[in-house]
Amino acid sequence: MERSVDIAVVGAGFAGMYTVVKAREMNMTVQVFEAGTDVGGTWYWNRYPGARCDIESVEYSYSFDNTLQQEWEWTERYAPQPEILKYAQHVADRFDLRTDIQFSTRVMSAHFSEDNNTWTITTDKDDVVTARFVVFATGCLSSANRPHFPGAESFTGEVYHTGEWPHDGVDFSGKSVGLIGTGSSAIQSIPIIAQGSAYLTVFQRTASFSIPARNESIDRDYVAKVKSAYPEFRDANRRQTGAFGSNIRRGETSALESTDEERWAEFERRWDEGGFGFLSSYNDFLLHTDANDLVAEFVRQKIRSIVKDPATADLLMPTQVIGCKRLCLDTGYYETFNRDNVTLVAVDNHPIERITEHGLVVDGVEHTFDVLVYATGFDAMTGSLLKIDIRGRNNQSLADAWHGGPVTYLGLNTAGFPNMFMVSGPGSPSVLTNMIMSIEQHVEWIANCIAHMSHNNLSVIETTEQSQSEWVAFVNAVADKTLYPSCNSWYLGANVPGKPRVFMPLIGFPTYVDKCNDVVRNGYEGFVLA
């Protein structure tokens, strides 16, 4: 393809799809490139057993079209991956989005020309598209992190990564499985793989805190209530720190102000209810370690009471601050370690030494299996952007501009890269929110900005070095007021060896939205328009 368009978009997940909707509203031409064979992004790739969203279904969906949100019927409290993918496909059908998307195509480079203020995008299918604007809708958790272990190539069995799961599924029956990782993806898949395989060995570097999801069939009365005032329900969610959970009771006092009995009863109630509401019983879990210790100890006691073998229970005991890594929600995770066909191996003090033909070696002991599953997460927030050869002014690469860590203004743009927008880029609330709410806010901001430029005959928008360094400092100052930076999370890039440690997501969706709106009201303050 050789084509010239107003807007080139990379990625056809929820962000790329909505960008097509907005571009068409503005009567602009748009070309999306997507590596997968269909829409859905995260929900297209992450097909591992048990994959489901940890934000409730009625909230994790588009709000921009009232008929769409009224008509779509979710079946479970937390939607499983196949249903979310079906929803994305339904939206693509309903708005006829696929005509502007070229699938099975990976964007290789995006270069800005200062001569004519356009971007040139090239792909692995030899397409060349020029565009006034480029929108990276590449997702925050879309670049699989596959740690390199010596000997990895020598393993002769099947190998999978949770984030790149085969479309036809995996038949584990009668097979022994080794699974590396105990984050959200592992915690969702482990109970199901354990049930469906002959034997499962889990290799754990850091024990995670997990809370029961209490997933169930969706409560139709609750759905009817939400739908009777859906726009108001969405607005109420947008006013929450994470843009979700307006139905969660939020404690407004410190955990330290209650008696032991009151606290324990409250924790029990929340444990029984399941979900992220567990950490909302008091208002200071992520502010004070004394408060955090109380709720962390409650979960540790739950683990002790569920897991029968004391040595395994000890290994499963998380020691970090609860909530500073993304809290996991599970269905029968800790119970799975009571099964006869499951073993937990700690790889913290003795990291995985190497992979062999038939398994892997830890502390000199070889563990053998037929199938190896990497549940090792993602090069989050920056990985997918930095895989593309993105070049702005003076032929400077994004990798070079971000060598010390990602620098953006509002998570939307980086100095030296005019007319380039990121949807839910580093420095925006993104992964600390209901992603679809964040995506809608970003795409609408970008669309309004492009419309403003067209109406005012402006050809270039770009932030400044000063705006972005102040913004990064602000994002980190907000994080530093909390316990978030206290552990080695992917929010900090700490899961990928050599990645600069920068706290990437901004905490606080409503404040962020106010800031974005103020920037516009003040004539795109912090940007230079020409």
Residues forming contacts to ligand N01 in the complex (CB under 6 A) are 53-54, 141, 147, 162, 180-186, 188, 205-206, 326, 329, 347, 352, 375-378, 431, 490, 495
- The distance from CA 227 to its chain's CA centroid, rounded to whole angstroms, is 26
Nearest residue relative to ligand N01 (C-beta)? 183
CB of 59 to ligand N01, least distance (A): 12
CB of 48 to ligand N01, least distance (A): 8
Give the nearer residue to ligand N01 in terms of CB position, either 49 or 508.
49
Give the nearer residue to ligand N01 in terms of CB position, either 354 or 481.
354
CB of 51 to ligand N01, least distance (A): 6
Residues in the chain: 530
Tokens of 287: 């502010």
468, 409 Cβ separation under 8 angstroms: yes
What are the backbone angles phi and psi of residue 30, rounded to the nearest 5°?
A: -140, 140
Nearest to 119 by CA among 366, 462, 427, 454: 462
Nearest to 460 by CA among 449, 471, 472: 449
CB of 329 to ligand N01, least distance (A): 6
What gap in Å lies between CA 482 and CA 321, rounded to an integer? 11
CB of 258 to ligand N01, least distance (A): 29
Q: Which amino acid is at 124?
A: D
Give the nearer residue to ligand N01 in terms of CB position, either 274 or 416.
274
CB of 326 to ligand N01, least distance (A): 3
Give the nearer residue to ligand N01 in terms of CB position, either 206 or 463.
206
Give the nearer residue to ligand N01 in terms of CB position, either 345 or 453.
345
| Element containing residue 421 per DSSP (H, E) | strand 420-422
CB of 323 to ligand N01, least distance (A): 12
- Return all residues near 447 (Cβ < 8 A) that are at least 6 apart: 19, 22, 23, 25, 26
Give the nearer residue to ligand N01 in terms of CB position, either 78 or 136.
78
Give the nearer residue to ligand N01 in terms of CB position, either 98 or 499.
499
| Element containing residue 134 per DSSP (H, E) | strand 128-136
160, 51 Cβ separation under 8 angstroms: no
Tokens of 455: 């109406």
Give the nearer residue to ligand N01 in terms of CB position, either 84 or 255.
84
* Degrees to nearest 5, angle at CA 204 with 190 and 314: 100
Give the nearer residue to ligand N01 in terms of CB position, either 60 or 285.
60
What gap in Å lies between CA 286 and CA 276, rounded to an integer? 13
CB of 146 to ligand N01, least distance (A): 9
Tokens of 434: 């209901």
Q: Is 250 helix (H, G, I), strand (E, B) or coil?
A: coil
What gap in Å lies between CA 504 and CA 184, rounded to an integer? 19
CB of 486 to ligand N01, least distance (A): 14
Give the nearer residue to ligand N01 in terms of CB position, either 188 or 201.
188
CB of 482 to ligand N01, least distance (A): 17
Give the nearer residue to ligand N01 in terms of CB position, either 87 or 417.
87
Q: Which amino acid is at 296?
A: A
What gap in Å lies between CA 506 and CA 438, rounded to an integer? 12
CB of 147 to ligand N01, least distance (A): 4
Tokens of 126: 């030899």
Decide: residue 399, CB within 10 A, 0-12 exposed, 13-18 middle, 19+ buried.
middle
How many Cα atoms sit within 13 Å of 312 on the Cβ side?
19
Nearest to 170 by CA among 374, 335, 29: 374
Nearest to 445 by CA among 394, 485, 496, 410: 410
